[in-house]
Amino acid sequence: MTYNPASTRYENMPYRRCGNSGLKLPAVSLGLWHNFGHDTPHDVKRAMCQTAFDHGITHFDLANNYGPPAGSAEKAFGQILATDFHGYRDELIISSKAGYDMWPGPYGEMGSRKYLIASCDQSLKRMGLDYVDIFYSHRFDPDTPLEETMGALDRIVRSGKALYAGISSYNSEKTKEAVAILKDLGTPCLIHQPAYNILNRWVENDGLKDTLKDLGVGSIAFTPLAQGLLTSKYLGGIPSDSRMAQNKSLWEDQLSVPTLAAIKELNEMASGRDQTLAQMAIAWVLRNEGITTALIGASKPSQIIDCAGAVNNLSFTEAELSNIDRVAQDANINLWAKSSQSDNAPG
Ligand SMILES: NC(=O)c1ccc[n+]([C@@H]2O[C@H](COP(=O)([O-])OP(=O)(O)OC[C@H]3O[C@@H](n4cnc5c(N)ncnc54)[C@H](OP(=O)(O)O)[C@@H]3O)[C@@H](O)[C@H]2O)c1
């Protein structure tokens, strides 16, 4: 059936300036890491993308390795672009990344010029695009000179394959170096993509959040819902259709007794704000404009509608914020903690 986007799609979603750039991003963005591979029916993927766009979510985040199998999320999104979003390309911000394991041999991962440029070309082919809006170095590579990785991003932008450059999971120190190199090359760093949520506060502890503000670089916080922990879904056990039940990068040991107790209290606080816990968790990430956009994932369209509703209340009182801090601190669930060095973290 032909898809016609909702005429109301720009009525409720705020669009926030990405750092010092001219680009505005929706307060809530959709990522296609999980549930866009061969394990999900194509109709569900289409319905999620359509629902997102209908609610003002103009930004879709991908990576070469999203699936399973790797590459299949980009292929599925390419089909959706052709069937549903045809004619709407200029209303969309589409990103992709390279850094994790993608193809065999020494040129299929990390941060070399060889890998990044070839991977960007492959992503464009899979999605049927001439360019992506943002192309990222997905993780810091300690074995490649940063000048080479940033030089590859600069080359990708200059050759018209991406409009902007970004980095993901780089720590504060490496971010400063990367941003300086990109600035010298004349391709400013648009955005940083770190993990960040109420239960994962490394961007605060590392100083990254302040660094980005000082440098005028935008930020897109991934896993704002701690992969679903910061929703009401695990309060009554582990639902059979959940990410945890499917062992997709979320395991039972991440739902410790203290974490579950914190989630219960947070859920009550959210009710007191007339929000779902998912909505409060997204609003928390976006508080004080500290982060440009919250990058959610979803397994069904109704979750996207719920998450988009977060924008109806983005402010917190000081008492609410200190209550959240009292109940929940960093829960040691950051799978990407070592990404700024070298590891095999997913995503
Ligand atoms: N740069 C990187 O290294 C990196 C790493 C990871 C992710 N990312 C990006 O960040 C995106 C989001 O990551 P994520 O999927 O982990 O984010 P998330 O928003 O923290 O978790 C998404 C999961 O939460 C559950 N959920 C979402 N909305 C819900 C709602 N309203 N009510 C109840 N449950 C809800 C769903 O779980 P169920 O599936 O159980 O229903 C969904 O799959 C990815 O798609 C990717 O684009 C980037």
Q: What is the DSSP string of 156-167?
A: HHHTTSEEEEEE
- pLDDT, residue 344, reads 42
Average pLDDT, integer, range 93-115: 98
Alpha-carbon distance of 21 to 220, in angstroms, equals: 14
Residue 306 β-bridge partners: none
At residue 315, does pLDDT exceed 60? yes
Residue pair 71/64 in contact (Cβ under 8 Å)? The answer is yes
Alpha-carbon distance of 222 to 205, in angstroms, equals: 17
Considering the domain boundaries, does residue 236 fall inside one? no
At residue 338, does pLDDT exceed 90? no
- Residue of minimum CA distance from atom 28 in ligand 1: 303
For the CA of 339, the nearest atom of ligand 1? 3
- pLDDT, residue 138, reads 98
- pLDDT, residue 43, reads 98
Q: How far is the CA of 227 from the centre of ligand 1 (A)?
A: 5
Residues with CB under 6 A from ligand 1: 31-34, 61, 138, 168-169, 193, 222-228, 231, 233, 242-243, 278, 295-299, 303, 306-307, 336, 347
For the CA of 233, the nearest atom of ligand 1? 33
- pLDDT, residue 345, reads 56
At residue 342, does pLDDT exceed 50? no
Q: For residue 216, what is the enclosing H or E element?
A: none
Considering the domain boundaries, does residue 136 fall inside one? yes
Please, what is the average pLDDT of the chain? Answer: 95
Ligand 1 pocket mutation, candidates 55, 65, 225, criterion most atoms within 8 A of CB: 225
- Residue of minimum CA distance from atom 32 in ligand 1: 303
- Domain that residue 214 falls in: 15-231+284-299
Ligand 1 pocket mutation, candidates 296, 336, 344, criterion most atoms within 8 A of CB: 296
| Torsion sign over Cα 49, 334, 209, 20 | negative
For the CA of 225, the nearest atom of ligand 1? 20
- pLDDT, residue 337, reads 79
Considering the domain boundaries, does residue 272 fall inside one? no
Considering the domain boundaries, does residue 155 fall inside one? yes
Considering the domain boundaries, does residue 5 fall inside one? no
Helix %, strand %, coil % for the chain, to 5?
Answer: 40, 15, 45
Among the residues of the chain, which ranges form H helices? Answer: 42-54, 72-83, 113-127, 146-158, 172-185, 202-205, 208-215, 257-272, 277-286, 301-308, 318-327
Alpha-carbon distance of 307 to 41, in angstroms, equals: 22
Q: For residue 26, what is the enclosing H or E element?
A: strand 24-26
Quote the tokens at residue 313: 């209340």
Residue-wise pLDDT for 232-286, tens only, equals 999 999 999 999 999 999 999 899 999 999 999 999 999 999 999 999 999 999 9
Q: How many C-alpha atoms does 133 have within 13 Å on its Cβ side?
A: 19
Considering the domain boundaries, does residue 274 fall inside one? no
Q: How many domains does the chain have?
A: 1
Q: How far is the CA of 228 from the centre of ligand 1 (A)?
A: 6
Residue 346's pLDDT band (cuts 50, 70, 90): low
Quote the tokens at residue 13: 């979603």
Q: Which residues contact 196 (CB under 8 A, 6 or more apart)?
A: 202, 203, 209, 221, 222, 223, 224, 285, 291
Residue in the block written with tokens 């070469």: 64
- Residue of minimum CA distance from atom 33 in ligand 1: 231
Considering the domain boundaries, does residue 169 fall inside one? yes
Q: How far is CA 176 from CA 28, 168, 179, 187, in A?
A: 26, 13, 5, 15
Residue pair 20/216 in contact (Cβ under 8 Å)? The answer is yes
Residue-wise pLDDT for 118-173, tens only, equals 999 999 999 999 999 999 999 999 999 999 999 999 999 999 999 999 999 999 99
Q: How far is CA 47 from CA 29, 57, 77, 84, in A?
A: 16, 13, 12, 10
Ligand 1 pocket mutation, candidates 299, 304, 343, criterion most atoms within 8 A of CB: 299
- Residue of minimum CA distance from atom 4 in ligand 1: 347
Ligand 1 pocket mutation, candidates 25, 33, 241, criterion most atoms within 8 A of CB: 33
At residue 6, does pLDDT exceed 90? yes
We report the CATH number of the domain holding residue 31 as 3.20.20.100
Considering the domain boundaries, does residue 160 fall inside one? yes
Ligand 1 pocket mutation, candidates 77, 223, 251, criterion most atoms within 8 A of CB: 223
- Residue of minimum CA distance from atom 43 in ligand 1: 298
For the CA of 33, the nearest atom of ligand 1? 45
Alpha-carbon distance of 306 to 309, in angstroms, equals: 5
Give the angle 196-201-205 at the CA atoms, nearest 5°.
130
For the CA of 139, the nearest atom of ligand 1? 3
Residues 202-235: b if buried by 16+ CB within 10 A, e if exposed: bbeebebbebbeebebbbbbbbbbbbbbbbbbbe
- pLDDT, residue 9, reads 98
